[in-house]
Structure 1
Amino acid sequence: MSKPVVIFLNTRRTHLEHGAAIEAAHRQGHGVALIADSVPAGLPERIVRTVHKVDTFDLAAVDAAVDAIAAEHTVAGVVTWSDRDVETVSRIAARLGLPAPSVAAARAARNKFLMRQALVDHPEAIPRFARVTEWAELTKAVADIGYPAVLKPTSGSGSKGIFVLRGEDDLRAAFDELVRYTRPEVDKAFTGNPGELIVEEFLVGTEHSVEGFVTGGRLHIAGVTDKETSEPFRLEVAHVFPSSLPESTLAEVRRLTEVVIGALGLDDCTFHLECMVSPAGTAKLVEVAARVGGDFITSHLVGLATGVPFAENVIRVATGREPVLPAGDGLYSGVRKIMADRDGVLAGVDGLAEALGVPGVRHAIVERAAGAKVALPPADYMSGTIGAVLAVGDSAEAVRATLLRAVDAVTVRVTPAEG
């Protein structure tokens, strides 16, 4: 009898990331049934048993694909690797009787306004906030919240569309740009809530994420990641795992995590919680997602540092089992992105061999092909990321130094776009 399958609803965008997930399913004794908008080349046919290419925003098409898979295979679990499919995973799991958060909890984890509404009884855990869909609502909300403030989509992800408002002069341009951007014809992630924004108090401090799982109401934290972002659009440019925060502050982060997971009712899932730690050591929620962290954090960094691949625990939890958490001291790992510094067309990337030659570097990856259009925020929030370097070391400082040296060895050549 063939092995049971885990349904993957779409994949991460790089072969390094989705390969780690597919291999994790195999090591846990499962095949993979893929439902996806686009199918990566070179999938291992012995592991990926069936592929259904459909528009995954079309719920009827997804349901038909699930029915076809269930008719031919024993389905042990269902997972996704990005925000956009979190609610759909909960729908599928409810139909098949598989572990996953409730649809209501998944919806709250997808919408930053609903997320904060769930935490109104815990004002210490969240910034002051307001939902915004019209210009008059924005001006009123900012008058109440004050400057500086942050304006962003309620259902965005990957640092897309984050505007820091320093004063009244920033309002109109930020609002108009986000109204333009948060439309389904621009990005299908905004299907169902076009133009829905949230404005909130600007939090001061350092940014971090918590990687973990919830099973049967029990919280399991695999670790905390330190984050580096760019200004003014708060793009995530580097991560180091585990965190270098002092133990007293890590305890505050863990307490925040318990409050957030409990308030949203998340269960039977992987989660990635982002928070801001103030100079005083208090932690407040930025957002929480009912799926893995991106940027190679959970595909590679956790496993490189701890020796326990995070993706294998994702499969364990999705199939109704407890995660296996690391014990004892580990190493440190990190990622730094290779970024373009101008708009245009990607002509090439030089210096990868030199980057790979830096001691401690484990991977150097290019995500965009020569000839691809490159545009920087606010025109585009993704195409300026050209690749990334991953490294391991015996301290956070060593990892950061390795990553800087490796990325400095790389040259991104961007030529002006014609016309």
Structure 2
Amino acid sequence: METLLYVNIRGYKVERLKPIYAAKKLGYKITLLADKDPGLDKGLIDDLIIVDTYDIEASVQASIEYAKNHSVAGVLTWADKDVELVARIGEELGLRTINRESAKKARNKYLMRDALSQIEGLCPKYRHVLSFSDLQQAVKEVGIPGIFKPVGGAGSKGIFKIDENTNVEETYRLMLETTSPEEDKTFSYYPNEYIYEEYLEGPEVSIDGVVQDHIVYMTGVADNLVSEDYSLDYMEIFPSEKDDETIKEIKRSTKTAVKELGFNDCSFHLEGRVTKEGFKMLEVAARPAGGFIASHVIENASGISYIEFIIKVAVGENIQDSWPEFDKISNQSVCHYEVLANEEGVITNIRGLDDVMEDEDVIFIIPVKQINEEVVLPPKDFESSYLATAIIRGKGYSEVKKKIDRLENKLDYTIQ
């Protein structure tokens, strides 16, 4: 039996297991290359290689050694951090992965913007920021409002909106603190490197897909909601209810961007905004979407596993004749929703989880925070405000929104 090499797994429980179950269904063994034992149930993974995955050379060498005695059919990751590592491992083992140059563009938002700058109208105005004086100059040239973020960030961490009321010097200090590699090793790849870009007005959307043999396959567009001040993702609903012409424009732009970046033999997750001037891209990642989109939202809407197609691309199985139109065959809207805290303190009580689950259209809800845990809001902490995560279905956005409102009314977190 052939083996799939997974470089780490997602952080959320339930979400993290979908790629494992999908691989087992397709007949593969799973070897996990990870920083630590994730503590999964026995039998879910076949082999575990513990290595510091921030140390690319050590991780590549561990993969080479393992492959000497095992038939590795493909290598994948499920989060931004390890995209470049997967490209290196794929190159060394002769597997189908994104190439190293494109992987770097996918991970470094400034290089990504530069590579796409020749495509008229696709990207907002932007400037590279390596110092406080760079940021001051960028604000002058690009204008306000604007978005200030790390080039190697992920998971909405370290995204600051700058407007006329912002203390730019204090924001820069907070950015350095938030993105310190000592605080979060994710930022050890591109330390103290940032980008300032024009703030885009308009609804946010995302689109997922894969690229195989330089052909771009898309699942369809999702409508997203993010918090105003710090761009925290808290809702994605699939498929989008945008009009047909807008959907076509988003898909055309996505295809152009993915091809221009040289993506191939990989999945992608692209985010953008629909502005008065048309669709503009925010960023694109060379890995599957998080937020339960790739794992649960698309599958529950369409009835087909998107994860299985991601695996097929990684092992070189041709998908041209089997790729479905996920958005067009979806017979219901499915939403991933995050319950966010609006105050700081310690959680002293949680009520209503069982009442929420009595709604048959709440597919599941997972508490993220527990009693006696502390809640800290951005910019002091970009992850602590997430209280619970849910998957909800309905007939269209308006019905899903009613179910979200009902969920929020039933669920009560006492924070003191």
Normalised to the residue count of structure 1, the TM-score between the two structures is 0.94
| Deviates further, 70-79 or 285-294 | 70-79
* C-alpha distance in structure 2 between counterparts of 1:83 and 1:155, whole Å: 9
SS at match of 2:173: helix
- Partner letter of residue 335 of structure 1? H
* Contact 1:182/1:196 (<8 A) preserved: no
Q: What is the root-mean-square deviation in Å for CA atoms of aligned residues?
A: 1.6
SS at match of 1:157: coil
Say whether residues 1:257 and 2:258 are aligned partners.
no
* C-alpha distance in structure 1 between counterparts of 2:108 and 2:231, whole Å: 19
- Residue 370 of structure 1 deviates from its aligned partner by 3.4
* Contact 1:389/1:407 (<8 A) preserved: no
* Contact 1:336/1:407 (<8 A) preserved: no
SS at match of 1:147: coil
| 1:267-416 aligned within 5 A | 267-279=264-276, 282-323=278-319, 324-327=322-325, 328-330=328-330, 331-415=332-416
- Partner letter of residue 41 of structure 1? G
- Residue 44 of structure 1 deviates from its aligned partner by 4.3
| Deviates further, 153-162 or 361-370 | 361-370
| 1:231-250 aligned within 5 A | 231-250=228-247
- Residue 368 of structure 1 deviates from its aligned partner by 3.3
- Residue 348 of structure 1 deviates from its aligned partner by 4.3
Report the count of equivalent residues. 411
1:224 matched residue in structure 2? 221
* Contact 1:358/1:405 (<8 A) preserved: no
* Contact 1:345/1:371 (<8 A) preserved: yes
- Partner letter of residue 316 of structure 2? G
* C-alpha distance in structure 2 between counterparts of 1:86 and 1:236, whole Å: 21
Q: 1:48 aligns with which of 42, 45, 48?
A: 45
* C-alpha distance in structure 1 between counterparts of 2:348 and 2:5, whole Å: 37
* Contact 2:152/2:189 (<8 A) preserved: no
Q: Where does structure 2 lack aligned partners over 5 or more consecutive residues?
A: none
Q: Deviation digits for residues 334-367 of structure 1, max 9, x if unmatched?
A: 0111222222333343211111112311011112
- Partner letter of residue 401 of structure 1? K
Runs of 4+ in structure 1 over 6 Å off: none
- Residue 5 of structure 1 deviates from its aligned partner by 1.0
Say whether residues 1:93 and 2:90 are aligned partners.
yes
Q: 2:31 aligns with which of 24, 30, 33?
A: 33
SS at match of 1:48: coil
Q: 2:161 aligns with which of 136, 161, 164?
A: 164
| Deviates further, 299-308 or 398-407 | 398-407
Percent identity between matched residues is: 33
* C-alpha distance in structure 2 between counterparts of 1:321 and 1:67, whole Å: 23
* C-alpha distance in structure 2 between counterparts of 1:407 and 1:80, whole Å: 33
* Contact 2:145/2:162 (<8 A) preserved: yes
* Contact 2:238/2:298 (<8 A) preserved: yes
SS at match of 1:284: strand
SS at match of 1:164: strand
SS at match of 2:121: helix
CA gap of 1:37–1:413, structure 2 versus 1, over 3 A, is farther
| Deviates further, 157-166 or 336-345 | 336-345
SS at match of 2:112: helix
